[in-house]
Structure 1
Amino acid sequence: MSSFLYFVLPAVGGYALTSMILLKNPHILHKRKRSAFFSRHISHRGGSGERIESTMEAFTNAVEQGTEMLELDCHLTKDGHVVVSHDDNLLRQTGYDVTISSLDLKDLPLYKERLEVTFYEGHYSSGADRKIALLEDVFKKFPRMPISVEIKENNKQLITKVSDMAKRYNREEITVWASVESSIMKECLKVNDSMPHSFTMNRGVLLLLLFYTGLLPFVPLEESLLQFYLLRIMNRTFIPDSPILRNRLIASLLEKLMMRKSLFTHLADRGIQVHLFVCNEDEDIKAAFELGATGVMTDYPCHLTSYLCRNRSQE
């Protein structure tokens, strides 16, 4: 037994030391990713706290306020148009219990006059523009603005249309594939692997496993962005649908497990941007940057711009 420990303990110790050194110095094994953009200021659904979410008015306001990236979701209408909307079912957004996929573009209802901000309970937005936007119109109006496009359904026609639009408007390098589902991301990359992409949920779990086992510094990563919740907002400004996440103890444990500065710093050193969302208050914006986020996603682009101007030391 003693002879076994004589060999094993030095090996384990050597592995742990090597892993720690490489975690802090990833350039030893990995070439830093080069990106066509770097975004510290990201507008969630176009800045859904200042204008009605995902409308052209919201996107325009966010860009005017100095955002460096737009985040949006898209779906396909019955007659084949790619539109910008977080939900396929429009009950929450419009009051009509219908799906985008069941309607032609001309039949899509207008957004409600006042819409609650999903990640800021009790706060509402309004605006003159209540029309569901076309993704192509967003690409046309903001040709050089980086945009994260979340694909929520494994629909090859939708994915192909988004890819074709990114090519047509010469914006593949600044259009990001985003999806929670690995099966959807696999199809996105199959259609177009020239576009940068973010971590899916499964890949995020794997990332944590690699981090805690010490293997992360040795493993190549294809993703260009990690976009994830700032978990401290759970049950405070955002009440999750999941009963498990509503448990404050579980939410606290997840925060301690997942919000690791050494992990985020390692990713940033490898050229992988880390965007934490949705940060709508000063204390949350500050916490995100202190954790090592390279960018913050917000519903209030004007407020985030003000914060960054007031706290230039974090730039």
Structure 2
Amino acid sequence: MTQIFAHRGYSASFAENTMGAFYEAEKAGADGIELDVQLTKDGEIVVIHDEKVDRTTSGTGFVKDFLFKEIRNLNANHKGLKKEPIPSLIEVLEWMRTNKLVCNIELKNGLIPYEGMEEKVVQLVRRYGLADRIIISSFNHYSIVYSYRIAPEIETAPLFIEGIYMPWIYSQSIRARGIHPKHSSMSDNIIMNTMDNGIAVRPYTVNKDVDMHRFFNINCTAIITDDPVKALRIRKQYEKRP
């Protein structure tokens, strides 16, 4: 059965990449969450999508220019009533020990080459004993190859915007166990061939009913969606099938 990953948490209804959005995704019944990580000036791993804090918080400037204690003072729910800090990856992993969710950690090191990011993420995942419930993904494929080399026990999955020829061959060549393509970039046939070759396929960001039906219909490995509640409702129609 196709798994449902909540993109930046239950971000359709709650502030993205906050503990509130992650709690709500779990409460809704999602199988997993997807989140993004950046590094602060003093080397802490924090959960935020953009290189700058401007769009999603009350502050301005680059994540890399804030100390951890400074970035924690910002409100990551600036459009909502309740103040929420930017989570640290430690906070998320501690919470994950209380549930059974899978977590896709996206390394946001395409524009800013954060020194030591891969080691820090791997170290934390191992410290919390969560290697079998984490997927490391990135648009920076050098970074996920490096992650695999230092931690072959943690699944890696390259992210794609464009379609790629025989993605299973590419995945096998970099030892990735999954791929996360843009949902519109792969045909059903390519998805099924990829899965038949032992590679998980988790398209992003699948929000429209018609696209959800498409992926549930071919029993895609997972979808990454802003709206896990809608996805769960649509998936129910497919659970009764033989």
User: Same fold by TM-score, threshold 0.5 exceeded?
Assistant: yes
Against the structure 1 CA distance between its residues 291 and 45, is the aligned structure 2 distance closer, same or farther, given a 3 Å change threshold?
same
Q: Please tell me whether residue 46 in structure 1 is matched to residue 5 in structure 2.
A: no
Against the structure 1 CA distance between its residues 129 and 304, is the aligned structure 2 distance closer, same or farther, given a 3 Å change threshold?
farther
Contact conserved, 1:75 with 1:85, CA < 8 A, in 2?
Answer: yes
Map of 1:262 onto structure 2? 189
- Equivalent pairs: percent with the same residue? 21
In terms of mean alpha carbon deviation, does 45-54 or 282-291 score higher? 282-291
Contact conserved, 1:74 with 1:85, CA < 8 A, in 2?
Answer: yes
Contact conserved, 1:68 with 1:145, CA < 8 A, in 2?
Answer: yes
Unaligned runs of at least 5 residues, structure 1: 1-37, 115-125, 232-257
Correspondence for 2:133 among 164, 168, 174: 174
Against the structure 1 CA distance between its residues 189 and 133, is the aligned structure 2 distance closer, same or farther, given a 3 Å change threshold?
same
Map of 2:165 onto structure 1? 209
Correspondence for 2:206 among 250, 272, 279: 279
Find the aligned partners of 2:58 and 2:83 in 1 and give their Cα distance.
16
Q: Secondary structure at the match of 1:49?
A: coil
TM-score (norm 1): 0.67
Map of 2:233 onto structure 1? 306
Find the aligned partners of 2:83 and 2:221 in 1 and give their Cα distance.
32
Find the aligned partners of 1:105 and 1:146 in 2 and give their Cα distance.
26
Question: Relative to total residues, which structure has the larger helix share, 1 or 2?
Answer: 1
In terms of mean alpha carbon deviation, does 258-267 or 297-306 score higher? 258-267
Within a 5 Å distance, the mapping from 1:230-241 to structure 2 comes to 230-231=183-184
Counterpart of 1:150, as a letter, is E
Q: What do the CA deviations read for 1:290-312 (whole angstroms, capped 9, x no partner)?
A: 45522111111122122222442
Over alpha carbons, which structure has the higher Rg?
Answer: 1
Correspondence for 1:96 among 59, 79, 85: 59
Counterpart of 1:223, as a letter, is A
Against the structure 1 CA distance between its residues 174 and 113, is the aligned structure 2 distance closer, same or farther, given a 3 Å change threshold?
same
Contact conserved, 1:39 with 1:68, CA < 8 A, in 2?
Answer: no
Against the structure 1 CA distance between its residues 127 and 293, is the aligned structure 2 distance closer, same or farther, given a 3 Å change threshold?
farther
Correspondence for 1:229 among 173, 176, 182: 182
Residue 112 of structure 1, CA deviation: 4.7
Against the structure 1 CA distance between its residues 221 and 156, is the aligned structure 2 distance closer, same or farther, given a 3 Å change threshold?
closer
Contact conserved, 2:105 with 2:134, CA < 8 A, in 1?
Answer: yes
Contact conserved, 1:229 with 1:276, CA < 8 A, in 2?
Answer: yes
Counterpart of 2:75, as a letter, is L
Residue 113 of structure 1, CA deviation: 2.8
Contact conserved, 1:230 with 1:288, CA < 8 A, in 2?
Answer: no
Against the structure 1 CA distance between its residues 127 and 290, is the aligned structure 2 distance closer, same or farther, given a 3 Å change threshold?
farther
Q: Please tell me whether residue 75 in structure 1 is matched to residue 41 in structure 2.
A: no
Against the structure 1 CA distance between its residues 273 and 97, is the aligned structure 2 distance closer, same or farther, given a 3 Å change threshold?
same
Residue 220 of structure 1, CA deviation: 6.0
